A and B are shown apart, each in its own frame.
Chain A
């Protein structure tokens, strides 16, 4: 019988397995061994592997990123965690100027095998400084790899790949996925970085998605299917480098493409997908590629203000309908909704 785990537990299991098989793996970040253990993802690590390999840290995001780079130059594989991406912005110097450049600027002499876990917020008043989804920033920097798992299975497999990759990997995990359950094999397995996954086969339109938006897409696709529209869902899993082959193959087949993103839309990963598809497959397209992302505004805080801000399954359904020139209904989604728009489900009671 297959085993299911939550996304957060899958991360925790990957950490255990990585630290077990390789003594050079260390894990640190604000709160890794506090009572909450970063939403449970680092629970038990310190007890098992000791305080030298698992430790809380000073509130010094920039220096501690440089420390990770420095330690990695001498054989250590640091995994650093931040409870929100927004705080990590203090570390952009060490990430962009050192981590991303080291291997290239010294002519391939020494790589930087570090993994940085950043948690992305949404809803529940996370507001302007607790919910930024800046994957495009990282993906814009040559030398970094950026992964965004959407399932528990990928969460584990991609984290193991990230840790054992010899390059700096930004591992973006969406807070709304932490409680999501899915099948997770017990053993050590890896999801290759740079490989997208076709989560659903379909002939009418390709949805290219990432991270939490993949879950909204799955809901939308189910509803669309009941209305006779069959979408293909390409979950990017890695946003740098992007698996263009899989994306282009799918769009070639369907002739239509909608790109989803958890970030603000201008200059987003979704924008890049639209650009690439337009450039490479112009003749094969039956309608203009579209993207669905957040408006180009900071995230507001009040639940009243986020109602039209975030994109959900019904927005996907309506956009797909428009692209196909078909009338579609979103009643089923609205009727089936059990929790308010600003939480991922009943399990989430805040505060962040």
Chain B
């Protein structure tokens, strides 16, 4: 069943896609200044998933995420200034400099945290689902993870528990076909479809086009509706592609672990270009609108970078605080 998506929503989706893209590309550009001194996993190319899914969530719904979490954090409404300050290791960062790029948090918008061990937040999001059920608070807990995480035991353990206890959890598998440099074919048997496989665990699932934000948004809306109606979890698989290297600001096609043609074919399906083209064609938006959007985004981003750069570092003594609550 196709869902009709309102023009204003489409425009907003485009804005969100562009915003995350420009943030990530600016980080890539400035990473070599050596001021962002932590491992950083950029989301470029995968934006449609975070944007489409988070648009289907409420502010008070929970999200947990992975090492590649900038997109999820921003799409959920996380504070950009605090994110950049965190990557710069500043006291004003969302985790006060103790987390860095891989440990973002903004509880005011339901972004409950991102962690760096593959699969690590799958049970955390499941536990948030348990808390929602106990509190009867009509929220949803959404867990973002990659294809690699579906190879770890904790993934199966968590889904089994969520199905058993009928928890309001949306599992979003962002399948970008690589775990660092290891392709899916050395990690999972040929022909496996993750979203079909999980049905054996008793969870309902669907899949969509992870580069088409309208499709992602529609599938996410349907998933959220299903979870609320049935009171059981749902699994959504969204294939997409990482443009840049696993970790860091560069492109890494020179390494030869993936075919350049493969990269190009995904790049041709740039989620931003896909939506822009559609909206221009439909007359929903003009080139001037797009330019205006870009300018507004760039303005916001340069202010946020300025904030991050100008913020003070935490005092070294701060390392010895916050061990216990």
Contacts and interface: CB of A to CB of B under 8 A. Distances in A.
Interface string B106-134: 01000011010100111111111111101
Contact of B113 (A72, A102, A111, A145): A102
Contacts, number: 149
B279 interface: no
B135 A108 contact: no
7 contacts: A66-B120, A66-B154, A74-B131, A107-B98, A107-B105, A110-B107, A166-B325
A302 interface: no
Interface of A: 26, 52-53, 57-58, 60, 62-76, 93-94, 97-98, 102-111, 113, 142-143, 145, 166-167
B95 interface: yes
Contacts of A69: 123-124, 127
A64 B325 CA distance: 23
B98 A68 contact: no
B190 interface: no
Interface in B60-117: 62, 64, 93-99, 103, 105, 107, 112-113, 115, 117
Nearest to B158: A63
A109 B134 contact: no
B157 interface: yes
A26 to B, nearest CB: 7
Contact of B134 (A26, A63, A64, A106): A26
A107 B89 CA distance: 11
A64 B124 CA distance: 9
Of A66, A67, A108, the most chain B CB neighbours within 10 A belong to A67
Nearest to B97: A107
Given A105-B99, A145-B324, A110 B105 contact: yes
A75 B129 CA distance: 12
B89 to A, nearest CB: 12
A104 B322 contact: yes
A104 B105 CA distance: 12
Given A58-B161, A142-B323, A75 B154 contact: no
Nearest to A109: B105
Q: Which 10 A-B pairs have the closest CB atoms?
A: A70-B127, A66-B123, A107-B96, A63-B157, A111-B325, A60-B157, A67-B127, A74-B131, A108-B322, A70-B124
Given A58-B164, A63-B161, A145-B324, A73 B124 contact: yes
A35 B120 CA distance: 34
A64 to B, nearest CB: 7
Of A52, A69, A143, the most chain B CB neighbours within 10 A belong to A69
A73 B112 contact: yes
B103 A71 contact: no
A58 to B, nearest CB: 6
Nearest to B159: A63
B189 interface: no
Contacts of A105: 95, 98-99, 103
Contact of A76 (B64, B95, B134, B323): B134
Contacts of A109: 94-95, 105, 107
A93 B164 CA distance: 23
B127 A71 contact: yes
A71 B134 contact: yes
Given A62-B153, A97-B117, A108 B126 contact: no
Nearest to B116: A97
A69 B117 CA distance: 15
B96 to A, nearest CB: 3
Contact of B161 (A67, A94, A106): A67
B56 to A, nearest CB: 20
A75 B135 contact: yes
Contact of A70 (B98, B128, B164, B321): B128
A106 B157 contact: no
Given A62-B123, A76-B131, A104-B98, A167 B325 contact: yes
Nearest to B153: A62
A72 B112 CA distance: 12
B157 A62 contact: yes
Contact of B96 (A57, A93, A108): A108
Given A64-B157, A110-B112, 13 more contacts: A60-B157, A66-B122, A66-B126, A67-B126, A67-B158, A73-B131, A74-B128, A93-B120, A94-B120, A97-B120, A98-B121, A105-B103, A167-B325
A70 B103 contact: no
